Structure 1
Amino acid sequence: MSDENVAGLADDLYDVIGLLRRRSRRLVGAPLPELALSGAQLELLRVVRRNPGITVAESARVLGLAANTVSTLVGQLLTLGVLVRERDESDRRVARLDLTPPARAGLEQWRDRRAQTTATALAGLSADERARLAEALTTIARIAADLPESSHTSESASVTTSATGPDDRPPGGDRP
């Protein structure tokens, strides 16, 4: 495949993913709509929902962001009352993050609505199409993991699919 075709494929990939996310958002709405959360805030909440007790540094690694950026997001979410930060019992220098019960309930209800809506669309696919999609998700996750963490480094991002959601990991396991 030529470089031009590869660039076009990359554009198509982002177009399709964006379309899926926009249509899903229109159908099921936003989680905790009263808060008008930014995309970065929502991503952090999804990571914390799937990983109760995660640290800022661990969250930063999962999200591919700088720890100080995640720390800023944590401060914003603490102020909004959707996130709690507690000291680790064994190492008081470490802060563990978790969702407040109302935030957890809102995120889980949103996740369930989004999953059900998408499952209905997936049910319309043939078994062969669903199998090809599952295979493609693994490839997309690998592409995401191979993207550099920033334009200033050529090192691959250390994204682990076990700590991400259906938007960015292959099927299986807990869903956001």
Structure 2
Amino acid sequence: MKSVPLSLITLFCASLLVSLSGCGSISNVRSFSTPYSLPASDQTARLRVFSDGMVRAIPKSACVDFRLPGAGVLVAPRKGYADRNNESLGMPAIVSQPAGTVRSEFKIPAGEPVSFVYNRERCYNRFTFVPQPGADYELDASGYSNCTVSVRQLPTGSKPGKPLALDDSKMCRLADNY
């Protein structure tokens, strides 16, 4: 059996790395291994997330680009991914947490769009909304048999909570989808 020269292995690995970085796969790997962090923002809102899959956020963007500052994983029920499961900001108490979900609370930039990606087995959902400064929100991404998400603004004082209309979020660069 002949051995493969080291220079050939090095050339193959370098070619593979260039090819992967060109098609966006490097950013996709980063999107699973980087936890969400709040980028500098003058105004914030709070968000509680429930999910039976992975939820990632891209702050200050109406499209999905995991290279942007702060972009990363909010929650993930499976081990081996970055996550910020079980963090608390002292948001108002919840009635009940959906079975089989993980939960956490985050500060997100307000007054500008935030994009989200919810995925689990056979489910990939991208959406965006613009949080209002000082408001509290709850994102339920526990689609179970379907691939749905809902966001509602929590009640404050005498104002009742209300469900939000979510917009679709596209990939910022088409090549990132491959």
- TM-score of the alignment, normalized to the shorter chain, above 0.5: no
Q: Indicate the structure (1 or 2) with the bigger Cα radius of gyration.
A: 2
Larger helix proportion of the pair? 1
Give the TM-score normalised by structure 1: 0.28
TM-score (norm 2): 0.28
- The structure with more strand, counted as a fraction of residues: 2
